[in-house]
Structure formats: structure tokens, C-alpha cells
Amino acid sequence: MKYAGRLAAVAFVGALSLAACGTDNNTGASGTTAATEAAADSGLSGTINAAGSSAQANAIDQWKKEFQAKNSGVSINYQPSGSGAGIQAFIQGTVALAGSDSALKDDEPAKADARCKTGKAVNIPMVTGPVAVVYNLPGVEGLQLSPKTLGGIFNSKITKWDDPAIKADNPNATLPSTPIQAFHRADESGTSDNFTKFLEATADWPYEAAKAWPAEAKGQGAKGSDGIATSVKDTEGAISYVEMSYADNSQLQKAKVANGSGEFVELTPESAAKTVETAEIKGTGNDLALSIDYATKAPGAYPIVLVTYEITCEKGLSAEESKLVKAFLTYTASDEGQAALKDLGYAPLSGELLTKVRSTVEAIS
């Protein structure tokens, strides 16, 4: 099933230690203002300890502020420890909610289902996080890079900024002979997973897509999205990949990237949305794992996007856990919660996909 003009999302991650009390909220799949009011009137209390994807940390900070203002008895503690750590903590049963920039895969679904015991684990997209190719090259604005050139840079085959491949992408630019300093995530990361999926699908990339950066590709590692942004900002000649929100917050230079038709596209929430328009839901039932076409030829489509998922049990949490998880996700999927994303460098959900997200959250019990 394909969805036009809809953005899938990046979202919360977490571990949960809580006690919840009060009336059941009356939220529905519509996600209207009433849904937000229901969460606010729920009388919930407890502590949500969260950890996982760093891609949606800025979104979590905003949601946390607003949700706690409406639910004074709830405290949310969030640690952006990376997608891999969040998934492992969920599988081990130490958290009730995991945030990941890629859906469960390989042997993870079976392990996650086993952790849920009486139900299945579900992937719930909450925010789209466009992935920026960021660089530090004073005097060179509007840099253009094709997927093949990016593959060569990040595989340490292209090592100078005036390499013929980069010149071919930028015929009118004056490029310095500065050495390229390519940074990648040192920790297991859904951002790395999505970026290498893009390279695998579009470039001469000899490695399998994975959360862990391939050692053979070399380069320099930095931990977390904050670490990547800081490293690029502090290093002339640097290049890396990081979520748009971090690129904007750090005022980093962003490259235009060629999509499947060869069109060099500037990264904006709108251009990223055009790529998500071609995404298909590959999950079944209430599982909303998406398949993204990184080689999209849609006009004006920026091809590198990631979706951060809320991973939790559809059924199988304790009654107390499910109340608090459901209330928080009801808020993040509400009109108010989604509207807060655009100013943070994310893209909000809309249309039929958002309706399905709200239905999945409503089914948590």
C-alpha cells in the first residue's frame, strides 16, 4: 500500500519504570484535540525512563516538555543512547518502549515478540527525520553530490575535495585540494543503517547496510548525532551524515544530493516528504514498518530519509505500563504533538498513515 504526501516518522525510545493510576483515557484513532485533553485528564503518575535513537532527541525534548505540563504526575527521563541499545534493552525486558531509526529486522522480531509474551511487538512510525549530508568547506556553498560520489567518499576512495568526481558534480564550483575528513557514527545507529541502505541501493557500495559502520570503509567515528554535528563543525574539510534537525541547530552546510533521476535536490521537509510518498507499509496488522525507495525518481524528491519507530508491545505490557505508554504515544500522535515537529527540523505525519498510527496506539492494551 502506498501513501502520497505522507511522512513517516522518527520518535520516542525508551525504557520504562513506572506506576500509573487514575481513569482510563478515552482517546480514539481520530487524534483530535479531545485525544490530547484525554491524556491531560488521565491522572497518570510515574516515571518514564527513556533511551535509544538520538535522531529524535529534539522531538522528545519538546514532547516531554508539553506532555509533562499536561500530566504533572509524570516524569520523563530520556537518554539518546542509540537505536541498537534501545532495541536490546526492549528485548531484554528492561524497557517498555524502544526508539529505533529502523524497524525490527533479522532475528529481532522473534525476540521482541517473545519479550511481549501475550502479544506481538509493533513498529510505530512517529516522525520523519530527513538525513542531511553535512560538510565544512568555507567558501563552497550549494555543494552537489551524486550517490556514486558519496559512496566513494565514505569508502575512502575519494580523499581530496578537488577530486575529479566531485568536480564533475560541481562544474561551476571552485574546489580546494583540502583533504576530506569523513565522519561516521561510532555507535550502532539507525541513522547509519538508513544512510548505508541509501548507498547500497544507489551507489557502488560493497558493504551490507547495517547499524554498525563497516570497519573496512575506514573514516573517523563520532558518538551520537551530537558528536557528528560537533565533529563536522570543528573540522575543516569534514563531511558526514546527520539528521536535518541537528544540521540546522548547528548551522552546518548541507549538500544537495542527486535522486534516482540525477536531479540534485536541496534538503527541506517538503523535498523529503516527496520520497516518503513512495514508501510502502510492509508490516502486517498493526505493525507499520515501512519500505523506502532510496532510488526514487520523483521530481524534487530528496532521497535520504529515515523513519524513527516507537517499538513496544501491542499486548503484553503490565496494565500500569500500557496506560502510561499509550497516553504518551497518544499525545505524540495528536495534532498538537505532530504540529510541534516542523519547527524542529522534522516532518509531521499526515493523512492515512497518521490515521493508522493512531489506530495502532489505540490498540495498545
Which residues define the annotated binding site for phosphate? 53-55, 83, 101, 189-191
Phi, psi of 247 (to 5 degrees): -60, -45
Q: How many residues does the chain have?
A: 365
Q: Which residues pair with 242 in a beta bridge?
A: 132
CA distance 37 to 273: 29
Indicate the burial class of 111 (C-beta count within 10 angstroms; 0-12, 13-18, 19 or more): middle
CA distance 331 to 63: 8
Query: Can you say which residues are annotated as belonging to the binding site?
Result: 53-55, 83, 101, 189-191
214: its cell numbers: 563497516
Beta carbons of 187 and 227 less than 8 angstroms apart: no
The residue with cell 565514505 is 154
The residue with cell 561516521 is 184
CA distance 144 to 87: 35
Phi, psi of 117 (to 5 degrees): 60, -75
Indicate the burial class of 164 (C-beta count within 10 angstroms; 0-12, 13-18, 19 or more): exposed
DSSP for 220-272, please give it.
EEE-HHHHHHHHHHHSTTEEEEEEHHHHHHTT-EE-EEE-TTS-EE---HHHH
44: its cell numbers: 497518570
CA distance 173 to 140: 7
